Structure 1
Amino acid sequence: MYIKKKAEITKIRKSGIIVAKILENIKKYIKPGISTNKLNKICHELIIQEKSVPACLGYKGFPKSVCISVNDVVCHGIPNKTEILKNGDILNIDVTIIKDGYHADASKMFYVGYISKENNILCQEAQKSLYCALKVIKPGILINKIGYAIQKNIRKTSFSIVKNYCGHGIGKKFHEKPQILHYYCKQDNQIILKKGMIFTVEPMINLGSDKVQIMSDNWTVKTIDKKPSAQYEHTILVTKYGCEILTHQSTEKIPKKLNNIIKEKT
């Protein structure tokens, strides 16, 4: 039920290229003094230029085209005119588009001017935890190996993993099965990864406590201790030898296609 056909993979791959392009192009606009609402408008225009649809806009009532989460906002931040970026801020921009009926979803962290050393390390470890997960993805492994890889990396730090939200299957629908936990759960062992599965991996890493709270808008999720949070996300295809990052960007520190099958010596 989770396996995508060749034609579907081709369409999701095209959607992934567009998402990656938008995340690459938005960077030059991120500077002190710009509002998150302005960034949302720019992203919206970029999506439309690609003859695509912003999947977030109107999704279960979400009012904007992308999610922008600043500092202590963990996820689902709603862009607005009064939220003005300032030097030292960190923010996550989460882009999901629909092209020819198929979704792709990715997010990454951006820095405003010069950020603190602590926040820089937080963002680096969030990205590293995602990469650690991608390096274990291959056919035949239990799905909980993904969360184990993330947890193993974060346990080396003083940071915490948000457990309230997870990755997800993606395709014709924004959110499909299976769910991808970002921490190890022994009981999450009912699914074995197979070639053709497509899902997101999107660990959210907090500087302090892993506890979060939903604001009165019923969307914005913040850390309960008001400390910063960081997240990186990719849409992933399970391949014969490992995985392919369908939302791969030019600045990545990891290849687009990963061969995670260790060939035995003969």
Structure 2
Amino acid sequence: MLIDEEALRCLRKAGKAASQALKSIMCKVHEGMPLTEICEYVENYIRSMGCEPAFPCNISINHVAAHYTSYIGDQSVIPPRSLVKIDVGAHFNGFIADVAASIALSDDYEPLVHASEKALEAAINAIKPGVKISTLGSLIESTIKSFGFKPIRNLSGHMLKQYTLHGEKSIPNVATSSSVSLEVDEVYAIEPFATNGAGLVTDSSEAYIFRYLSPKKAKKFERELLATIWNRFRSLPFCDRWVRDIIPGETLPKLIELSHIGSLYGYHVLVERGRGLVAQSEHTVIVCEDGVEVITSF
């Protein structure tokens, strides 16, 4: 993917919106804070910066690793002494920036957060054209293990393309035998996950985030809903809070129903298999001829 000046401008704009939204909310998170308040603050902040959320704000607490967002009527709040991960995405004209950080509401969790941060730093410092993704995975794994924790081996960083959150290439969090390498002008979200648990995530039964797939099996009125969803979000993820105007009433059950017939993809909430605590750190980078540009620094 060759990045022209316009694409670069869009990426940097999205990166600024996502990183500033995350920075702003991080100093506000506290015990008892409603998760809906966090999600809506982040998403509206991104909009105020002239961008759109690339996906619903993810708030993953303690053993939850990814894919939780607040839903209509959610009464959940930040628990005491918790480990809170906030994952933020913004896009401008479909060009995406993705950034995440962990907030430890207990000093006991600081070493785990530090492990994920240092793993991210090690990976970014090694990025250049031609570096193998296996090298990055090995660096992430060895860094996290040096702190006495485990990387989550079935989660990975991912290539970003216009209106596509997960491209063909991925960045593993462990050493692999892959010979795939990074190329100039590719864009990646690098996101190490560290845990004191089993080092694996598994699907829960819950899904609150969805993505458009196909209208083939939908009924006529459902196809009209799906057409509106496509026009709004293309292939980017969304949640019930964003479509309550076109699906009034039982919004979430309808989205779940559409996922069951293959019209939508439902992202199940991911939990650490051993119920271990999980820390996440993430930045979006552009591979440059002379190294790397981090577009989500804050």
Q: TM-score, normalised by structure 1?
A: 0.83
Residue 152 of structure 1, aligned match among 139, 142, 150: 142
Which secondary structure state, in structure 1, belongs to the residue aligned with residue 88 of structure 2?
A: strand
Deviation at 1:175, TM superposition (A): 1.8
Q: Does 1:34 align with 2:12?
A: no
Match of 2:192 in 1: 203
Match of 2:59 in 1: 68
Residue 182 of structure 1, aligned match among 167, 173, 181: 173
- Moved >4 Å (runs of 4+): none
Deviation at 1:96, TM superposition (A): 0.9
Deviation at 1:134, TM superposition (A): 0.7
Residue 87 of structure 2, aligned match among 94, 107, 122: 94
Q: Does 1:241 align with 2:290?
A: yes
Contact 2:120–2:190 (CA under 8 A) maintained in structure 1? yes
CA offsets, 1:139-196, max 9 Å, x none? 122221111111121232321111222111113122222211111101x11x232221
CA offsets, 1:19-45, max 9 Å, x none? 111011112321111111111111122
Q: Does 1:16 align with 2:15?
A: yes
**Structure 2: gaps (5+ residues):** 208-267
Count of aligned positions: 235
Deviation at 1:110, TM superposition (A): 1.6
Q: Alignment identity in percent? A: 23
Which secondary structure state, in structure 1, belongs to the residue aligned with residue 206 of structure 2?
A: coil
Question: Which letter maps to 1:208?
Answer: G
Deviation at 1:240, TM superposition (A): 2.2
Which secondary structure state, in structure 2, belongs to the residue aligned with residue 176 of structure 1?
A: coil
Between the aligned partners of 2:53 and 2:36, the Cα distance in structure 1 is 15
Contact 2:155–2:201 (CA under 8 A) maintained in structure 1? no
Which secondary structure state, in structure 2, belongs to the residue aligned with residue 177 of structure 1?
A: coil
Residue 107 of structure 1, aligned match among 88, 100, 103: 100
Residue 142 of structure 1, aligned match among 122, 132, 139: 132
Match of 1:62 in 2: none
Contact 1:3–1:194 (CA under 8 A) maintained in structure 2? no
Which secondary structure state, in structure 2, belongs to the residue aligned with residue 109 of structure 1?
A: strand
* Structure with the larger helix share: 2
Q: Does 1:121 align with 2:170?
A: no
